[in-house]
Amino acid sequence: MIIDMSYWTRVLSRILYVTFILIGLIIALKLSVFYLPFLIAFIIYLIMEPAIKWIMKKTKATRKTSSIIIFFVVSLIILGLLTWVIFTLFSEASNLLQDLNSYIEKAYNLFQDILNNIDFGKIKLPIEVQTILENSTGDILDTISNWARNFLNGLIDLVTSIPSIAIYFSITVIALYFLCVDKIYILDQIEHHLPRTWVMRVGKHIKELTQTLGGYLKAEASLVLVSFIISLIGLYIFKFIGFKLEFPLLIALGIGFVDALPILGSGTVMVPWAIICGINGEINLGIAIIILLIIMSTVRQFLEPRLVSKNIGVHPLFTLIAMYTGFKFLGIMGMLIGPIILIILKNIFATLIDGGVIKTIFDKR
């Protein structure tokens, strides 16, 4: 039997190529977490860049002058919002942590009332199943209580670590300033120190990623931000007109987080919340929540076609798999990071995917 060494050399080189790309992505992910302040500064810079160019075009000012103007405006906005968020989150998280047991007890009593009102005789459930349903309520609520308590304690520790926040904020602001003002110099240095072929290849991938992933993330971030702001304003209005809402910022953050998850949306949180309010006798609050959801959905449907220029081409099933994989490896935040990594992989391995991954690797051509 004659072994075709040239064929197996090509197969091995393709496998090594895929392996090195995956290892590079893992290293890049680790480095992005390690250098998080610089990553945040880079993302804010990408958002600011159109405003800098607009100032340059309208005022005929230099890039440095335009960058400094936008930089100070954005820095003041970020500092003000960060201060408000820290104090509000600390207040709401502390109050919720103190009253958590009472909320869990109310939820337990609500579930028990629902179970007591169900006629199990008509459903013809076995006694063992009924017992499991009645006993499992407490276990589920205990698990939710422990998770919520750990999350709130972690949130309080985070917002009260003022020295760390100050250091991260300072580094982010300084990095943002240099990215805005010295963009041309930074690009020149990168081109000077890297081989020309590397610059061309990396530049090509970065350009493609910016068009696909960058545009998608910017659009989704804008939509999530709009949903968060609408929900926050709506919840504060509900609170001011007399509805019993004690934690509007925490709730709005939760709605914004769920709205950011692919496949899911704000309705995943708000519809069950409205139903529970109705069951609990707070009909007006339940109706108000549904009205707020309708407003948020209408605004999103209006903005989405204008912000999201094209579909990323990932089937919802694969997106769901990416969310689950991210959750298993990285926890809750992995549900956000998983689909992003999926889009990056789809972009990098576009040629392999279009031709069929296994078929392309082991193709004899």
147-161, 275-289, 307-321, 335-349: lowest mean pLDDT where? 307-321
Cβ 67 vs Cβ 180: under 8 Å: yes
222-226, 248-252, 306-310: lowest mean pLDDT where? 306-310
Residue-level length of the chain? 365
Q: How far apart are CA 253 and CA 135, in angstroms?
A: 32
Confidence grade of residue 141 (pLDDT, cut at 50, 70, 90): low
102 has a pLDDT exceeding 60:
yes
Q: How far apart are CA 322 and CA 340, in angstroms?
A: 9
281: left (phi over 0), alpha (psi -120 to 50) or beta: left
Q: How far apart are CA 52 and CA 222, in angstroms?
A: 19
230: burial class by Cβ within 10 Å (0-12, 13-18, 19+)?
A: buried
Whole-angstrom CA distances from 152 to 97, 102, 148 are 7, 16, 6
Tokens 């910017």 identify what position? 218
DSSP assignments along 79-119, one per residue = HHHHHHHHHHHHHHHHHHHHTHHHHHHHHHHHHHHHHHHS-
What pLDDT, on a 0 to 100 scale, did the predictor assign at position 310?
A: 47
Q: Answer with the residue of higher pLDDT: 24 or 358.
A: 24
Q: Give me Rg for the CA atoms of the chain.
A: 26
* CB atoms inside a 10 Å sphere around CB 286: 20
- 3-class DSSP state for residue 184? helix
Scanning the chain, the segments in alpha helix (DSSP H) are 5-34, 36-59, 63-98, 100-117, 120-123, 127-160, 162-181, 183-193, 196-209, 215-240, 248-260, 267-279, 283-307, 316-330, 334-348, 350-355, 357-361
What pLDDT, on a 0 to 100 scale, did the predictor assign at position 253?
A: 86
Q: Answer with the residue of higher pLDDT: 15 or 172.
A: 172
Q: Which residues of 306-332 are buried (b: 16+ CB within 10 A; e: fewer)?
A: ebbeeebebeeeebeebbebbbeebee
What pLDDT, on a 0 to 100 scale, did the predictor assign at position 131?
A: 66
What pLDDT, on a 0 to 100 scale, did the predictor assign at position 16?
A: 84
What pLDDT, on a 0 to 100 scale, did the predictor assign at position 358?
A: 66
Average pLDDT over residues 343-365: 68
Tokens 């047991």 identify what position? 101
Average pLDDT over residues 165-172: 85
What angle separates helix 267-279 from helix 248-260, to the nearest 10 degrees? 130
Tell me the pLDDT tens digit for each residue of 170-217.
898 899 888 888 877 777 777 777 677 766 666 666 666 666 666 667
Q: How far apart are CA 139 and CA 14, in angstroms?
A: 50
Confidence grade of residue 254 (pLDDT, cut at 50, 70, 90): confident
Q: Answer with the residue of higher pLDDT: 158 or 15.
A: 15
| pTM for the predicted model, two decimal places | 0.67
309 has a pLDDT exceeding 60:
no
Tokens 């810079």 identify what position? 45
Average pLDDT over residues 249-257: 86
Phi, psi angles (nearest 5°) of residue 118: -85, 130
What pLDDT, on a 0 to 100 scale, did the predictor assign at position 55?
A: 87
What pLDDT, on a 0 to 100 scale, did the predictor assign at position 297?
A: 85
Greatest alpha-carbon span in the chain = 84
Q: Answer with the residue of higher pLDDT: 270 or 343.
A: 270
Tell me the pLDDT tens digit for each residue of 231-242.
999 999 988 888
